[in-house]
A and B are shown apart, each in its own frame.
Chain A
Amino acid sequence: MSDYTLYVAAVYGLAILVYGGYTLRWRASYKKLEQQRASLSQESP
């Protein structure tokens, strides 16, 4: 019986890529937005 290693690896790899990728992307975006907001607040009269 085949152990379907390639199929299993593809699913776990895809899950890490999508869940991990989105989480890291959103965290990075949050930090960038907060920096922009801080610099804009300082510039504001």
Chain B
Amino acid sequence: MNILKKIQPLVGLATLIALAIGLWYVYQAPADFQQGGAVRILYIHVPSAKIALLSYLFLTAASILYLWKRYEGADILAEAAASVGAAFTVITLASGSIWGKPMWGTWWAWDARLTSMLVLLILYKGLMVLRHSLDDPVKGARATAILAIIGAVDLPIIHYSVVWWRTLHQPPSLATGENTAVHITGPLLPPLLILSVAFILLGLYMVTVKARQIEARRHLDALEAARMHHDE
């Protein structure tokens, strides 16, 4: 996992630059004629939601790789992606709720998009709990990988929920085609696109930081186990 050590500073720097540019565009962007200044919440909400889903996609791929090749690095990346994905899902739900209060008149609605996103958060937390609930780390990793792959069924449900069902949540903000009744265009679009790129970099940076922390913890655990074995 030496590659993480090499790319981390570069990704960190790129993240800071992209975030600074994106926030400058947010500051410059005009208010929306319908939403007023509340449109600025979507610059955090939409990219966070995309990274919450991408993290799970990454986690699923890493889980498949781990079960197939038994490569520990894939398991470390899967564990890191769960923590990072959970953080992005929390912000997605919280920012959506804060946006919903002035726009919809309610903090929460049990519609398909919001509920499937809440299921994603429960999945992330469930994976984290399951991994540490088993004494054998290998069994924990395998059980987590299997649950992660099964849980991937939630991804298309989240993505297409606003198309398949009548929901309070509007259609995709960045999609093209017929399901774009409420979407972000014109001068409101650049901050969203730049922050989307910035959040991809931020997610990647957070995964590298978390993965290195997990790897260090595992090395320390192995060292302590070897030491105890030697003392016996």
Question: A residues bordering B, Cβ < 8 Å?
Answer: 1-5, 7-8, 10-12, 14-15, 18-19, 22-23, 26-27, 29-30, 33-34, 36-37, 40-41, 44-45
Q: Is the CB of B48 within 8 A of A15?
A: yes
Residues from chain A with Cβ under 8 Å of B90 in the complex: 18
> CB of B111 within 8 A of chain A?
no
A13 to B82, CA, bound (A): 23
Q: Is the CB of B45 within 8 A of A44?
A: no
Residues from chain A with Cβ under 8 Å of B95 in the complex: 11, 14-15
Distance in Å from the Cβ of A30 to the closest Cβ of chain B?
4
A26 to B102, CA, bound (A): 35
Q: Is the CB of A18 within 8 A of B213?
A: no
Partner of A15, one of B44, B101, B219: B44
Q: Majority SS of interface residues in chain B?
A: helix
Q: Is the CB of A40 within 8 A of B224?
A: yes
A23 to B83, CA, bound (A): 11
Residues from chain B with Cβ under 8 Å of A8 in the complex: 37-38, 40-41
Q: Is the CB of B223 within 8 A of A40?
A: yes
B-side interface residues, number (CB < 8 Å): 35
> CB of B210 within 8 A of chain A?
yes
> CB of B163 within 8 A of chain A?
no
Residues from chain A with Cβ under 8 Å of B209 in the complex: 23, 26-27, 30
Question: B residues bordering A, Cβ < 8 Å?
Answer: 31, 36-38, 40-41, 44-45, 48, 83-84, 87, 90-91, 94-95, 98-99, 101-102, 202, 205-206, 209-210, 212-213, 216-217, 219-220, 223-224, 227, 230
10 further contact pairs, Cβ within 8 A, besides A4-B38, A11-B41: A1-B36, A2-B102, A10-B98, A11-B94, A11-B99, A15-B44, A22-B83, A27-B209, A30-B216, A37-B223
Q: Can you spell out 25 A-B residue pairs with CB atoms less than 8 angstroms apart? A: A1-B31, A2-B37, A3-B31, A3-B36, A4-B37, A8-B37, A8-B38, A11-B41, A11-B95, A15-B44, A18-B90, A18-B91, A22-B83, A26-B210, A26-B213, A27-B209, A29-B217, A30-B209, A33-B213, A33-B216, A33-B219, A37-B216, A40-B220, A40-B227, A44-B223
Partner of B212, one of A18, A30, A41: A30
A8 to B91, CA, bound (A): 13
A5 to B202, CA, bound (A): 25
A36 to B83, CA, bound (A): 23
Question: Quick one: given A19-B91, A40-B224, are A11 and B31 in contact (CB under 8 Å)?
Answer: no
